[in-house]
Amino acid sequence: MLASSSQLLQVTTPFSTVLHFPTPILPRHWSNNSPMSETVVYHYLDLGRLGRGEVVNLFLRDAGLDFKTVRYAYDSTWPATKEKLREQGLSPTGLLPIIEYKGTKLSQHIPILRYLSRELGGYDGETSYEKYIVDQAADLYIDWRAAWVASLGDASDDYKNKIVPQYYALVAKYYAESKGPYLLGDKISYTDFAVFQSIDNERRTETLPDNLPESLQKLVDAMNERPKIAAFIRETA
């Protein structure tokens, strides 16, 4: 049975600021020794390990970037908060996640990952064909994420018996072709974080297939063994 929305919101992430109504957002500037010259500010809902924003969260941690986390309560205050985010110019749509980076506000989690990958010079494939493979699998994930969100609270038979099996079968095919554990073989890409989180989120909402394809299980095992991700999982298990 799918967990209730109230149950899903019980998990919280340490070292975060949870805001019910955000104070005016002012420009922030820090210096640090990370690959980027300024501290990143990561804005997302207080959903524990669920949702789009947590894909970005894992990526930031794995990349070793210095970032500040700002969380927003997802409760009766959210509509007012959402409007406030628009008014303050933090989020043009009022949606999260948002990343503040070098005076720029980045929105939409997959474009955020692509942008940061280019900034870091990694996580995105080396050849045009590798970049195509990474983008192609990311598009499959985006379609799945939209269906997953629509299913929250009452997953339909169509979602459980058609959409989910089809998604994992397609994605698993690409991973099997690379011989894994990552989409690009032994090179991690931003899409690996998205697929890993899709599996994690399905497990939390009890909609994950009983038998995960072998190529995807290899991905899960490899991601769980990455030091910074392993440390974060221990903190938030």
Which residues constitute the domain of residue 226?
A: 128-236
**Distance (Å, rounded) from C-alpha 124 to C-alpha 39?**
22
> Residues 162, 66: one domain?
no
> Residues 27, 115: one domain?
yes
Position 205 scores a pLDDT of 93
Q: Which of 104, 120, 136 is the last residue of a domain?
A: 120
Tally of domains in the chain:
2
> Residues 56, 148: one domain?
no
Higher-confidence residue of 154 and 4: namely: 154
Reference 92, options 77, 82, 80; nearest CA is 82
Q: Is the pLDDT of residue 158 over 50?
A: yes
> Residues 57, 79: one domain?
yes
| 8 Å CB contact between 47 and 96 | no
**Distance (Å, rounded) from C-alpha 102 to C-alpha 10?**
33
Position 39 scores a pLDDT of 80
Q: Is the pLDDT of residue 38 over 90?
A: no
Position 106 scores a pLDDT of 97
CATH number reported for the structural domain that contains residue 175 in this entry: 1.20.1050.10
Position 183 scores a pLDDT of 98
> Residues 179, 114: one domain?
no
Beta bridge partner(s), residue 70: 17, 43
CATH number reported for the structural domain that contains residue 89 in this entry: 3.40.30.10
Position 4 scores a pLDDT of 38
Q: Running DSSP on this structure, what letter comes out for residue 31?
A: -
Q: Is the pLDDT of residue 102 over 70?
A: yes
> Residues 116, 133: one domain?
no
Position 71 scores a pLDDT of 97
Reference 209, options 162, 175, 176, 142; nearest CA is 162
Cβ-count burial of 47 within 10 angstroms (0-12 exposed, 13-18 middle, 19+ buried)? buried
> Residues 86, 31: one domain?
yes
> Residues 232, 151: one domain?
yes
Mean pLDDT computed over 88-115: 96
Mean pLDDT computed over 124-151: 96
Q: Which of 120, 139, 169 is the last residue of a domain?
A: 120
> Residues 103, 139: one domain?
no
> Residues 114, 136: one domain?
no
Kindly state the tokens that stand for 166.
């089809």
Q: Which of 85, 120, 155 is the last residue of a domain?
A: 120
> Residues 38, 58: one domain?
yes
pLDDT tens for 78-89 read: 999 999 999 999
Q: Is the pLDDT of residue 118 over 80?
A: yes
pLDDT tens for 181-192 read: 999 999 999 999
Mean pLDDT of the chain: 86
> Residues 77, 27: one domain?
yes
